[in-house]
Each structure stands twice: as structure tokens, then as C-alpha cells.
Chain A
Amino acid sequence: MANTFQKQLLPWLLPLVVLIVWQVIAMLEIVSPSLFPAPTTVLESFYGLVVSGTLAEHIQISLYRAFVGLLIGGSIGLILGILNGWSKWSFFTFDTSIQMVRNIPHLALLPLAIVWLGIGETSKIFLVALGVMFPIYINTLHGIRSVDRGYVEMGRMYGLRGWQLFRHVYLPGALPSIFVGLRYALGVMWLTLIVAETIATSDGLGYLAMNARQFMQTDIIIVTIIIYALFGKLADMIAQVGEKNALRWHPNYRK
């Protein structure tokens, strides 16, 4: 009984206290309510945004950018990682160039992306794709290279060649590392999106926040921050479920 309390309830006590204190401070108007809206006010504007459909619209466009960017950048990173882990020719042809580009903080390319690609979808998707590409590339490369040579030799001995060897030995061997890359890339994906959307857009969650800033609607800014956090958590949870499922064989992921 005491144990359930300790494990299940105790962790929520502090957040609850913070919320209550915050609510009380706001209600007593100790600080300006426009800078420091009460949790109930935040809830109210959240409700308003949901009912009017505004929120769904902005979330939809943000998710679209996030996932198209992830898909493009992730695929490129995955393919390059596999190629360079597989073939020395490919590695020596591409890796140095990839590492040079990787050293540029991708967000520094934002102004350039806007000049080249405009403020439409392309520039944001480009930045997200660029950002997620590197963690996936590096971890895939590392995963493929760290596959036990003994397994590869055994696979060849038992007649596996080319695609078969890749599918049965290299890919599953690299998978734990690829998932590490994916989960890291999800973090980069949201971060890139937040920055890109606050600077050059007319829709999306970042735009919603920046627009609210102009009108000092602190409550809406807080709503968007919470939604970013929720989506970040959600994406990580989905990746974790996929990871657990794909790595059932791995002692670290066994229940």
C-alpha cells in the first residue's frame, strides 16, 4: 500500500503543488495576469482553440512538416549509413563530405533556406530533413560497422550473399543502433520545426505562438509550448514501442 503510494502518486505531488501555487498567485493577481495567466485561463484558451478548429489546423500543418522532413531526411540518412557501412568505396567517396556538412549547425542555414526556397513548405521540410539526417546516418553507419564479423563469416559460410546477408545479418545487427539514431532524430525534428516555424511562416504551431506574442496572449503561447512537449513525448513513445517490438530478441528489451 505504502509502496503504491510512493511509486504511483508521490511523483505527481510536486507538479500538483506547483499548479496550485501558480493558480493561487494568478488569482490573487500578485503578478500581471497577461504575463502569467492562471492554469484555468490556459485551459480555457486551449478549449477555445480546439472548438474553433484553429488548433487542429495548425497542428496538422506542423505534423505534416515534421513527418515529411523526417521521412526524407531519415531515408537519406539510413541509405547513406547503410551504403557507407557496407562498402569502403562508398565510405571513402561520401563520408568526408557528409562530415563537413554535418559541422554546420543546420539551423544556421535558415536564412539561406528562406532565400533559396522561400517561406513555403520546402524550406521548413528541407531544414527538418537536414537536421534528422545526421543522427540517423551516424548511428546507422556505426550499427552496420559494429555487426560482429563472426556472424558475417558464418552467414557467408551458410550461403548468404548480398541482399540475403544484409537482411538476415547486417540489418538486424544494426537495428538497436538505428533506433538510438531515430529517437535522437525525433528530438532534432521538433527543435528544428519550432525554430523554423517561429521565423518564417503563416501557419503551424510556431506561427500560432509568435502570433500570440504580438498580441501578448501569453495563455496561447503556453498552450503551444505544452502541445510541443506532448507531441515530443508521444513521438518518443511510439518510437519506443517500435523499438521494443523490433528488438524482442535483445536481452535489454525483454520484459
Chain B
Amino acid sequence: MTNSTREHGVRINVSQLQKSFGDNEVLKDVNLTIEKGQFIAIVGKSGSGKSTLLRLVAGLEQPTSGALLFDDQTIKKTDASVTMMYQDSRLLPWKTVIDNVGLGLKGDWKDRALSVLQAVGLSEFQKEWPGTLSGGQKQRVALARALIREPDLLILDEPLSALDALTRTEMQDLIEQIWRDNQFTSLLVTHDVREAVKLADRIVLIEDGEITLDLENPLPRPRDVTDERLVALEKQVTSRILEEEPLTSH
């Protein structure tokens, strides 16, 4: 995708992270170390604090207490490139596809933008308005916009949950392939446990602002979703989420 020889990826260290909004303690005591280049998936019920954790890691919010280190540096000091994909693509509707990809870049970025658009299979759409694209195409552009900055950390907040099943599978394969080519650290939040076990090296469950499960997923890639080891892992995580249900009802 890029010609750069710079090594990508960043090691992230989250310790005793706590975040409250007023009286609402959303994250209680989160401890997590993500290795450089690791693909980690965070699952959990809605409202459990997943997006809040991502926003803290992205530097969009400040923690109430606790520490967050990027290669042992604070977020303010880090020069790691962090990019993000959201559930809604957040393409600016008043900019063409290519101008969305180059948003905020300086210098001569057009060629690079074209090559990332090529990597996501959309180079012939460069002059279109985002409003004319399908949901899947929009997410591809959003992915290109995240990739052109050669991220050390790619944060993905349920980026595929609004897509139909076929498009979703395609996008999962694309994200996995690009991640394997570039080895940046990936932090994916998803509702879809199958997606988590398919893509991630490690699966973390958050319940009520705390990490309650942390599983390694060493299965070799590329992974086949019908592989029985993968199915077993999916069942294990799903039953763990469901088992907690009665306790979390208020």
C-alpha cells in the first residue's frame, strides 16, 4: 500500500484507567497492555464503556484517573499516528472521495491518495460525492482516509455493523489483509463475536466498565469461520457474555 519502510505499530499500556461522566462511572479500573502490531478485539454489551475506552485511547477524552502510555510515552508526547474508523463513515459530504481521503494532509498527497483508494478498490470513484456511494463503499473510503496516514494504531469502533453480511465479510478480509501487510496495532470494537474471533489475536470482554475476560486467539491465518476451533472460541465468548446477563439487569 505504501512505499515507506518505516516500521509501524505502537505498544499501548493502559493502567488503572478510570473515567466518569458526572456521577456515572463508565470505566472503573481498566488495565490492558496491547503489544505492538497486535490486533485486539473488544466485545461487550452496548453501554458497557467500549466507545469511551476507544475515545480515551484516541485522545478525544481525558481520563478521570489512571495512565495511558504509547511506547512508554504519554499521549501528548507521542508521535504515533492514530487514526479511527467509525460506524457511520463520517465522510464529509461536501468533499469528493479523494478530497476526503486527503483531508488535513499537507503537501502533495494526491498520488498517495490514489494508491490507497486503489488498495481499497475504489480508485475509479475518486471524483464522486460520498452521497452517491453505498454503505460499504463509504466505509472503504473511510478506511483509505485512515490508511493514508500510515497509522501506528488503527481504532475501529464498530465500523462494519451497519453493513450487510456479504459486504461485511468482504470488508473483514480487506482489513485483515491490510493489517497483515502493514502490521500496525489494531483496536476493534464489535458486537459481532464471530468477527472478533475471526480477526483478532486477542479478545477482551468489557462488562460494566471492567475487563472480565481476556482470551488469546492463536489460530493461524487466514482463518476459516467454519473451523471448529474458531467456532468453539466463538461459543466460549458468547456464552460468557450471556451468562452475565441476569447480574447486569438493574
Contact = CB atoms under 8 A, between A and B. Distances in A.
B131 interface: yes
A153 B83 CA distance: 12
B151 to A, nearest CB: 11
A160 B104 contact: yes
B84 interface: yes
A158 B129 contact: no
8 contacts: A150-B86, A151-B90, A154-B86, A168-B95, A172-B94, A249-B131, A250-B94, A250-B131
B92 A168 contact: yes
A175 B131 CA distance: 17
B131 A157 contact: no
Given A159-B104, A172-B92, A248-B129, 17 more contacts: A150-B88, A150-B90, A153-B60, A155-B103, A156-B60, A157-B58, A157-B82, A158-B103, A158-B104, A158-B145, A158-B149, A160-B103, A164-B104, A172-B94, A175-B94, A250-B94, A251-B131
A150 B157 CA distance: 13
B90 A154 contact: yes
Contacts of B94: 172-173, 175, 249-250
A83 interface: no
Q: Is the interface of A mostly helix, strand, loop or mixed?
A: helix
Interface residues on A, range: 20 to 34
B103 A250 contact: no
A169 interface: yes
Interface in B78-107: 82-84, 86, 88, 90, 92-95, 103-104
Nearest to B99: A168
A157 B83 contact: yes
Interface of B: 58, 60, 82-84, 86, 88, 90, 92-95, 103-104, 129, 131, 145, 149
B103 A168 contact: yes
Q: Nearest 8 A-B pairs (CB), nearest first?
A: A172-B94, A159-B104, A154-B90, A158-B104, A249-B94, A249-B129, A160-B104, A150-B90
Contacts of B60: 153, 156-157
A155 B92 CA distance: 9
Interface string A143-186: 00000001101111111100010001100110100000000000
Nearest to A150: B90
A2 to B, nearest CB: 35
Interface in A218-255: 248-251
A157 B154 CA distance: 12
B104 A155 contact: yes
Contacts of B90: 150-151, 154
Contacts of A175: 94
A149 to B, nearest CB: 10
Interface string A112-150: 000000000000000000000000000000000000001
B83 A158 contact: yes
Nearest to A247: B94
B107 to A, nearest CB: 13
B84 to A, nearest CB: 6
A154 B92 CA distance: 9
Contacts of A158: 83, 103-104, 145, 149
Of the candidates B84, B93, B145, the one having the most CB atoms from chain A within 10 angstroms of its own CB is B93
Nearest to A175: B94
A179 to B, nearest CB: 13
Contacts of A160: 103-104
A153 B51 CA distance: 14
A177 to B, nearest CB: 13
Contacts of A248: 129
